Structures are given as structure tokens and as C-alpha cells.
Amino acid sequence: MTTLGELTASIAHEVNQPLAAVVANAQACLRWLDREIPDLDAARRSVEWIVNDGNRASEVIRRVRALANKTDIEKAPLDIDDLVKEVSALVQRELISHRVSLRLELAPTLPMILGDRVQLQQVMINLVMNGIEAMQSVTDRPRQLAIRSGQDETHEVLVSVTDCGVGISAENADRLFNAFFTTKSGGMGMGLSICRSIVEAHGGRLSASGNEGPGATFQFVLPVHQEDAS
Amino acid sequence: MTERPKSSHEPASAREPIVFVIDDDASMRRALTNLFQSVGLEVEVFGSAPELLQSKLPDAASCLVLDIRLPGVSGLDFQTELAKANIHIPIIFMTGHGDIPMTVRAMKGGAVDFLTKPFRDQDMLDAVVTAIERDRKRREVGKIVANLQALFETLTPREREILALVASGLMNKQIAAEVGLAEITVKIHRGHIMKKWARGR
């Protein structure tokens, strides 16, 4: 199971490598120039490598963007409740190790949606992992996570993940889905931004809100598969 | 520092110090080669740990600059592997995103330094100079021990017996009594040992 956290760590690595090479080549270039008799050939070569490596870093970023806006997602008719059950099985170990109890409240007969199974799983896993992390500091109440499915007033299929963790401060609410925005010490701030891209690529919407009590709720809606809509 | 580290009593046969680099990223290998060459250091780069193990390492003071994240075996495991294989090359770790447990493990394993990419060139060069100096000292001590061992091999059993007694602080007369020889014979053996010692140096 590759989580978005691992994905972003590997993106970070892919971008950092050429950047580290740029910095080392630039420093070497200065040393070639600072020699008693400057070695201009070596300096020029260093600069050419800097150009190459800089372009490579930018290429990585271009590929990530393309990945996030990928249009050739493999869409198939899916039962969202099946997807939720699969995800809850995948995150079982994380739940246990963080002493979080998971409650599923699934609507029994939902229409099918059209989507990419793996990508939508990624979105749900990411929301669940965020919920678990948001409750890490909670010690005075049970750490409970709820995943609900249903239909909203326009009959779109809806999935929500509710935690009772630290919640969302008003000032952060607007920035939550921005790339590179994070409140976690080890976070890259890519997870929610990628999640939103995926949901939007499915013609849906991802949103967040603070709960009445402690914690936050993340919810996404997806359009119903046309053949199923009657 | 633009000067290569030089030891005053370097044996004439020893090669120039050499920096080995293992990084799976070609750009990074090229950049590190460039940086080390810009200060006149010799460099050899490898894409993976097995590649380094398969090549014949020259007899020179050296150090290893190693990315902690390598394909296959991790940098930290490679450090352990080298130690088990009795290869004591000083290691400088590089990492894109180092955490504290990783750093602690690396340093406990005897790493010279732990640098985060991108690193400051001076930090890297300082670490390399320290590492090479450490290796040079280790090699010198190793050479002295090897010389002594070779010398000891040339001694006859009787000479070895007498050398042990001399080393324990006994006088010729006492040694003679101990091994049941005339004092003059002990003196002759001592003379032979001294001659071999002088030749062995």
C-alpha cells in the first residue's frame, strides 16, 4: 500500500536530488573560478550541468502536475460502500497501533459511481490517515473515526470522514487544500491537494469543515454513474 | 580549503588520497565529482554498493561518501555490512531527509559526518578531510603492526623466546638463567634480533 505520504516523500526525493546537484555544481564552479588561474573550461562545464539539473528538477514537477491532473484515469462503475470497506481493511493496522476505533455508517443501497478504484482508495486512505494523525494528541476522550456514505440533496454520492481530533482553525480552513500547506511537522503539504485534484478529476468536490464538537469532517461528493441514474 | 591534506611522513609508495562516492543519482555523482576535483581531490563514483564491492580498491587513504537511501541495501545496512567484512573505511552520509534515529544509528556506527542534501560545500570538504586523515592514521598503525608481525616471523623460536623475556624487562643474566643458556649466548641472540629489526625497518 503506497500512501500519499510515501508518494510525496518520493517526489520530494526526486526534486531534491537535482537541486542538491545544482548547489554542489554551483559551489564547485565558484571554486574553479577562485583558483589562482581560473579554470574557465571547468567552470563552464559546471554551469552547463547546473542548467541540465535545473531543467530536470522542473521536469519532475511537470510530471507530478500531469499525474495530479491525469485525464486518462481508468474509470469503472464502482460501489462506493465496497470501496469504503476495502479501505477500512487496508488501514486496520494503523487504526490499532494508534488506538483509534472506526465506525462505518454506510447507506445500504447507493447508486454506482464511475471512478478509478485505486485513486479513490488513495483519497480515502489519505483522509483516514489525516484523521488518525489529528487525534494523536487526544488523551481525554476515545479516539473515534467515522466513515459515512450517503446521498446529498442533489442525489450525488457522498462520503465523509469524521474525527474528533484537533480540528481546523478558522485561519487554516482556506489554505487546507493548497499544495505545500501543512500543519504537521514532518508533512509535505501535498496530500489534501492531490486528493482534491483526484476528486475534481472525477467531477466531484472535496471539502472540509469543523465539527460541532471537537474534530473535523472531510467530505467528498461524486456524480452518479449515468446508466445508474434514473 | 583549496589545499589537499598532506601528511609530513607519508611513505613514498602511498597513492594520493581518494574519495569514493556511492549515489544512485547520476547528476549527484557528476556534481560530487566536480566539487571534489575543483579542490584537487581524486574521486571514484559508483551507482550502488555492490558496484563498489566488485571493484578493486586502491591502496590509499580514502573515505566513502554515501547516500543513505540506496537501491537495494540501505546506506545504514551497508555500513554494518562493511564493518562485518572488516572494512574500516570512514563514512560520510548524505541524506535528503534525515531523521534523528537515522543520524544516531549512523554516528554510533562510526560515521564521520551526516550531511543533509543540499549540503554546504565547505561542510562536505571538511568532513572529507577529517575522514581521510582518520583513515591515514588507521592505515599507519596497521602498517606498523604488520611490519612488526613480519619481523617476528623472521625470528627463530629461540630468538622469539628471548625477545619475550627482554620485553618483560629481564636482564641478560636473568634471561640466561631462565632459558638455561650462557649469558654470552643470550647476548648473541639479542644481537641477531637487533640486526633483523634494523633490516626490517
Are residue A61 and residue A84 in the same domain, yes or no?
no
Are residue A83 and residue A162 in the same domain, yes or no?
yes
Q: Does A18 touch chain B (CB under 8 A)?
A: yes
Are residue A104 and residue A200 in the same domain, yes or no?
yes
> Going along A73-131, which residue ranges are E strands?
76-78, 101-105, 113-115
What pLDDT digit, counting tens, does each position of A122-174 carry?
Answer: 889 989 988 998 898 888 889 999 999 999 888 899 999 999 988 887 777 77
What is the DSSP code string of B142-191?
HHHHHHHHHHHHHS-HHHHHHHHHHHTT--HHHHHHHHT--HHHHHHHHH
- Is B121 within 8 Å of A28 (Cβ atoms)? yes
Q: Domains in chain B, ordered, with CATH? A: 18-143 (3.40.50.2300), 155-200 (1.10.10.10)
Report helix, strand or coil for A95: helix
Q: What is the CATH number of the domain that holds A172?
A: 3.30.565.10
* Enclosing domain of residue A213: 76-228
Residue ending a domain, choose from A36, A68, A100? A68
pLDDT score for A72: 63
pTM over 0.90: no
> Going along A39-156, which residue ranges are E strands?
76-78, 101-105, 113-115, 144-151
Are residue A213 and residue A120 in the same domain, yes or no?
yes
Q: What is the CATH number of the domain that holds A15?
A: 1.10.287
Q: Which of B35, B95, B99, B126 to mutate to test the interface with A (most CBs of A within 10 A)?
A: B35
What pLDDT digit, counting tens, does each position of A169-183 carry?
Answer: 777 777 777 766 666
**Nearest residue on chain A to B30, judged by CA atoms?**
A21
Are residue A31 and residue A12 in the same domain, yes or no?
yes
Are residue A26 and residue A102 in the same domain, yes or no?
no
What average pLDDT does range A31-47 have in this prediction? 96
Are residue A106 and residue A193 in the same domain, yes or no?
yes
Residue ending a domain, choose from A12, A47, A68? A68
Cα Rg for chain B, rounded, in angstroms?
Answer: 23
CA–CA gap between residue B21 and residue A133 (Å, rounded): 38
**Nearest residue on chain B to A32, judged by CA atoms?**
B38
Contact across the interface for A20 and B31, Cβ inside 8 Å? yes
DSSP state of A224: B
Asked whether the ipTM of the predicted complex exceeds the cut of 0.90, the reply is no
Half-sphere exposure of A181 (CA within 13 A, CB side): 12
Counted domains in chain A? 2
Contact across the interface for B27 and A45, Cβ inside 8 Å? no
Ranked by mean pLDDT, the top range of A24-28, A86-90, A98-102, B138-142 is A24-28
Please name the residues in contact with B35: beta carbons below 8 A apart, sequence gap of 6 or more. A24, A25, A27, A28, A31, B121, B124, B125
Are residue A105 and residue A216 in the same domain, yes or no?
yes
Nearest to B27 among A32, A45, A56 (CB): A56
Measured CA distances, B153 to A88, B147, B156, B200 (Å): 71, 10, 8, 11
Are residue A113 and residue A130 in the same domain, yes or no?
yes
**Nearest residue on chain A to B118, judged by CA atoms?**
A20
pLDDT score for A62: 81
Q: Describe the crossing of helices B183-200 and B172-179 by its angle, rounded to 10 degrees.
A: 110
Is the pLDDT score of B6 beyond 50? Answer: no
